[in-house]
Structure 1
Amino acid sequence: MTEPKQRLLSLDFFRGLTVAAMILVNNPGSWGHIYAPLEHAEWNGCTPTDLIFPFFLWIVGVSIAFAMGNSKKDPANHSKVILKAVKRGVILYLLGFFLAIFGKLMAVIMDGKSLLEAFQTVRILGVLQRIGIVFIISSIIFLKCSTKTIFRVFIAILAIYWALMTFVPVPGVGYPNLEKETNLAAWIDRGILTEAHTWASSKTWDPEGVLSTLPAVGTCLFGILVGVWMRRKDVDHPTKVAWLFTIGIASVILGLLWDLQFPINKALWTSSYVLYAGGLAAVGLALCYWLIDVQGYKKITTPFVVYGVNAITVFFLAGLMPRLLNFIKISNADGSKTPLLEKFYSTCYTPFFSPINASLVWAISYVLGFYVLLYFMYKRNIIIKV
């Protein structure tokens, strides 16, 4: 008889909270008017917004431990599970690639632009692409390695990435450094992705680039290690909570200490950043687990659980909608045309709020609008699994 999969309501809640926050910070009314905590750090350092993506990858790791824990015990079934993980990871990558190229394809259809040019300048990597790649690699490591080996791989990843970034001279520069344009990760991105396929805002490097995917795998492995502990049935709830708080706080302290030599930096996904963000994620899950799964405060969970059970679906739709609506133009009195979203924002938001508050209220409205859709799906048990 197959052992039923364990499920943590607190994990669904934490995932939903993270995705809702991701949508909030990704969809301000105006990119020129954003409250500081809702912006990324300029380079080194960490704002609340910089914690959202690593939290999600860390949660992916915890989820892997819960979803594949039973399959790990049956080596004969590993090939089937890995194939399923690869399929899921590829779908995630393709969804991200579709978002990246969607605007260019619409320009081909509506403005007659070159299809070849659309593919020549599309960004190859991105958020969903990184999730897909990290998911595949981490799933294989989880299935094929013991817990001790996973921990050793995690430590090795952090150490190797630190050594590469701080000791390897950058070709063309002559010395190792952690600056935007001249660090080793940026050099690799330009060499492998080429400037035409990197993040559009930089043209010379990518915050979800090739080399920085290595420590992103570390973030996921951190989550896997926590998930393995949380699945244990020989440990009581208070011990699990105490352990989570302890490892979380210890990791934060280690991250802050490492920051003195290898700065916390989301764009580079530095090893100190992995420890710092992963530690805060562990503290966050510990708090959610204690309140929801142990103390039974479950009535407060619904608004974010509805986000958590359809996390990838809502993230994809939230990215697709503005891209689609921006191609719908509204005619103005002077004969010019304005994108539908811009027209709606300038008519319904900016006249009633200060610029920065109008931007925030728009983002909140966006999150609430998707909540209505997700709640409808949740009540009808519609869960779209990628």
Structure 2
Amino acid sequence: MWRRVQDHLSGIMAQCNPDRSLAIDVFRGITITGMILVNNPGSWDHVYAPLLHAKWHGWTPTDLIFPFFIFIVGLSAAFAAASQNKIQGTTAPNRTAQLKTAAIRSAKLFGLGLFLAIFYYDFQASNYSWFTERIENIRILGVLQRIALVFFCMTLLRLYASRTVEYAACVFLLALYTFCMAFTPYPLPTGGTGVGGWAFGENFTAYIDALILGSAHSYYANATPFPFDPEGIFSTLPAIVTGMLGLFTGRFLLAEKNAIARLKRLIPAGILLTLLGLVLDPVIPINKALWTPSYVLLTAGLAVLSLAFCIYLLDIRKTQRWSAPFIVFGANAIAFYMFSAVAARILTMIPVGETSLHALLYSKVFMPLFGPLNGSLAFALAFLALSYGAMYAMYKRKIFWKV
């Protein structure tokens, strides 16, 4: 059995494209694997604390996953841009063509996010109105939608701004966000004026979401005084900086090919960014839902350190076989995300008596075998194994879904 597993892993490694960065592919695979793991417990009532988001201020390992993915979007954009510029050049017509390609890709990602928002039906509720719940009250923003917006804004900066302007834009976005959150007044629905603050539902970004999206189209529809979305409109500005920091890191990797030299720059940079985020925390709290500047710095720093660790293991120590499953997941990250999201919804939608297939599998199979907490985790791991089968089938046939 172990020999077959080793042969399986070796076969995956043999298919790797030597021209691609193994560390980035594995980092992407680990990140998307973590995202699917934390999104699919057997029961949300029984989840280990590190696999849950922080309730508001603060952070857990789970709060690192989404910014890591956006950071990796920036990393990948740097390599893709270098390839495009090598083939097409950087003249104005080619910049326009690249922007058009980016716009189409962003629209597809945004559309996939909207598809997931409407892909649900409650078969157990006799009076369920899919049109009312999923169309009239559609959640407009979400994970894929934020990735789409960040990717497009990054492309604009990459194509039409100088390096100096890019750096200045990142500083400006974080400063603007901080100033508006701390000092910009906004009217309260109960009368009076709110100014500053980072409270749940009572802050400037929540005010913007309530003004534009309204409660019907926000994730936290019942937040007071303002409903808002954790992937909201104004909080996307600092998320752009997360992507840009990934882009800057990707450019550095392109310029520096020596693995040891890479670590000598990445490790100090990662430590500095992490410490800056922690130092800012008492003044600007680390908060994922608000994507605060301290959160941007902390998560970017930890992303850089995580990438450095991957480079150390894969490129310097040449310890690579363990990474094979993550290569499979990372090679089709968006397909993996979509497959898992659709499959999870289907398990929840299929009625079995007075419950769902998801709840039945957890309560009748996983919980009796492993207990409530471990059973919930075992369900998530089994879901990952199922997803791996589908993603490996695509990988083996060299099917790579590019949005």
TM-score surpassing 0.5? yes
- Rounded to whole Å, the distance in 2 between the matches of 1:350 and 1:177 is 42
1:80 to 86, 92, 97: 97
More deviation in 109-118 or 39-48?
109-118
1:296, distance to aligned residue in structure 2 (A):
2.6
Query: Partner amino acid for 1:13?
Result: V
1:37 paired to 2:50:
yes
| 1:95 corresponds to | 112
> Over residues 101-137 of structure 1, what are the superposed CA-to-partner deviations in whole Å (9 max), with x where a residue is unaligned?
1115x76999672625532211000001111111111
| 2:143 corresponds to | 127
1:254, distance to aligned residue in structure 2 (A):
0.7
- Rounded to whole Å, the distance in 2 between the matches of 1:112 and 1:148 is 54
Fraction of identical pairs, as percent? 41
1:325, distance to aligned residue in structure 2 (A):
2.7
TM norm structure 2: 0.89
More deviation in 27-36 or 375-384?
375-384
1:228 to 231, 244, 251: 251
Q: After TM superposition, which residue ranges in structure 1, 4 or more long, deviate above 3 angstroms?
A: 70-73, 106-112, 200-203
Map 1:63-78 onto structure 2 (within 5 A).
63-72=76-85, 73-75=89-91, 76-78=93-95
1:376 paired to 2:376:
no
- Rounded to whole Å, the distance in 2 between the matches of 1:374 and 1:139 is 29
Query: Partner amino acid for 1:41?
Result: A
Contact residue 108 and residue 114 of structure 1 kept, 8 A? no
1:184 paired to 2:204:
yes
Contact residue 19 and residue 307 of structure 1 kept, 8 A? yes
Secondary structure of 1:131's aligned partner: helix
1:320 to 342, 347, 351: 342
1:9 to 9, 18, 22: 22
Map 1:235-274 onto structure 2 (within 5 A).
236-274=258-296
| 1:165 corresponds to | 181
- Rounded to whole Å, the distance in 2 between the matches of 1:117 and 1:341 is 21
1:219 to 223, 233, 242: 242
- Rounded to whole Å, the distance in 2 between the matches of 1:143 and 1:299 is 37
1:200, distance to aligned residue in structure 2 (A):
4.9
Segments of 5+ residues of structure 1 without an aligned counterpart are 332-336
Map 1:290-301 onto structure 2 (within 5 A).
290-301=312-323
- Rounded to whole Å, the distance in 1 between the matches of 2:240 and 2:57 is 20
- Rounded to whole Å, the distance in 1 between the matches of 2:246 and 2:360 is 43
Query: Partner amino acid for 1:257?
Result: V
1:170, distance to aligned residue in structure 2 (A):
2.8
Secondary structure of 1:174's aligned partner: strand
- Rounded to whole Å, the distance in 2 between the matches of 1:202 and 1:218 is 29
Secondary structure of 1:170's aligned partner: strand
Query: Partner amino acid for 2:295?
Result: Y
Describe the shift of the 1:367–1:201 C-alpha distance in structure 2 as closer, same or farther (beyond 3 A): farther
1:28, distance to aligned residue in structure 2 (A):
0.6
Describe the shift of the 1:68–1:141 C-alpha distance in structure 2 as closer, same or farther (beyond 3 A): same
Contact residue 124 and residue 351 of structure 2 kept, 8 A? no
1:150, distance to aligned residue in structure 2 (A):
1.5
> Over residues 219-261 of structure 1, what are the superposed CA-to-partner deviations in whole Å (9 max), with x where a residue is unaligned?
000100101111015x633221111111110000111111121
1:198 paired to 2:218:
yes
| 1:151 corresponds to | 167
Describe the shift of the 1:326–1:147 C-alpha distance in structure 2 as closer, same or farther (beyond 3 A): same
More deviation in 164-173 or 49-58?
164-173
Describe the shift of the 1:97–1:66 C-alpha distance in structure 2 as closer, same or farther (beyond 3 A): same
Secondary structure of 1:383's aligned partner: coil
Query: Partner amino acid for 2:356?
Result: P
Contact residue 5 and residue 70 of structure 1 kept, 8 A? no
Contact residue 307 and residue 314 of structure 1 kept, 8 A? yes
Segments of 5+ residues of structure 2 without an aligned counterpart are 1-16
Describe the shift of the 1:178–1:109 C-alpha distance in structure 2 as closer, same or farther (beyond 3 A): closer
How many aligned residue pairs are there?
Answer: 376
1:338 paired to 2:355:
yes
> Over residues 77-109 of structure 1, what are the superposed CA-to-partner deviations in whole Å (9 max), with x where a residue is unaligned?
1111111111111111111111111115x7699
- Rounded to whole Å, the distance in 2 between the matches of 1:61 and 1:319 is 23
More deviation in 18-27 or 95-104?
95-104
| 2:333 corresponds to | 311
- Rounded to whole Å, the distance in 1 between the matches of 2:19 and 2:182 is 41
More deviation in 370-379 or 268-277?
370-379
- Aligned CA-pair RMSD: 2.1
- Rounded to whole Å, the distance in 2 between the matches of 1:208 and 1:372 is 31
Secondary structure of 1:123's aligned partner: coil
Contact residue 6 and residue 231 of structure 1 kept, 8 A? no
